[in-house]
Chains A and B, each alone.
Chain A
Amino acid sequence: NAGVTQTPKFQVLKTGQSMTLQCAQDMNHNSMYWYRQDPGMGLRLIYYSASEGTTDKGEVPNGYNVSRLNKREFSLRLESAAPSQTSVYFCASSEFGGSNQPQHFGDGTRLSIL
C-alpha cells in the first residue's frame, strides 16, 4: 500500500543547479499535482495534470517544468535553482471527476538551495 511515493526525501542544491523531483502513484489515479509549502504558509499549487498527456499551470509555476511521463509518474524539474525555491514539495494524486474524490499526498521532498 505505497500510495504516492516521492524521491528524494531531502536534497541540498547550489544556486543555478538543476534537479528533478520524482513522484509515482500506484492507485491508478488520473490526476496528479505538485505543491510547495513554505514555513507558516499554506499549500500553493505549482502544476497539475488532470489526466495523462495534459499539464496545466497552477498558482506559482515560474521556475518549474513538469512531465507527465505516464499515468503513474509526474516529475517536477527545477532548471536553475534559486534560493527562493527552498521549500517542502508535495506531490498528490486523485481520481478525476465525480464527487468526494480526495487527494492523496506523498510524504514530501525537503529542498534547500544555498
Chain B
Amino acid sequence: RKEVEQDPGPFNVPEGATVAFNCTYSNSASQSFFWYRQDCRKEPKLLMSVYSSGNEDGRFTAQLNRASQYISLLIRDSKLSDSATYLCVVNLYNFNKFYFGSGTKLNVKP
C-alpha cells in the first residue's frame, strides 16, 4: 500500500470554477502535511502547509482530517494559471522523511 494516495485526474474545469482534491495517507503517525504545485517538468514548489485547524491562503483552502487520514485542497475561482499538478506530501519528522503522492493534474480551461 502506498504511503500517500491521490486521484491522478485530470480534473478539467472552466475558469472561475471551484475544484477540490483529496489525498489519503496510510501512516497515522504522520505529523506534517503539505500541498505542493508542480508545473510540467519543473521543480515542486510549496503551495501551503496544512494545519490541524485548517488554513486558507487567498483562493486556496487546506483541511486535515486526522481521524480519517486525509487532507484536502480547495481552489476557488480557478485561474488558467492554476493549471498544474498538485502534490500531497506528508512527513514523519522524527525520521525526517517525506512521502509524496503521485499528484493530481488540474487543467483550467477558458
Contacts and interface: CB of A to CB of B under 8 A. Distances in A.
Do A and B belong to a common assembly?
A: yes
Interface of A: 31, 33, 41-43, 45, 48, 50, 88, 90, 94, 96-108, 110
Contacts of B95: 50
Interface residues of B, number: 24
Interface stretch (B21-29, B36-44, B70-78): B36-44
A41 B102 contact: yes
A100 B101 contact: no
6 contacts: A42-B100, A45-B97, A90-B44, A103-B44, A103-B98, A110-B41
Contacts, number: 57
Main secondary structure of the interface of B (DSSP, over half): loop
Interface of B: 31-32, 34, 41-46, 49, 51, 87, 89, 91, 93-98, 100-103
A107 B43 contact: yes
A43 B100 contact: yes
A94 B98 contact: yes
Given A88-B41, A107-B42, A108-B43, A100 B51 contact: yes
A102 B96 contact: no
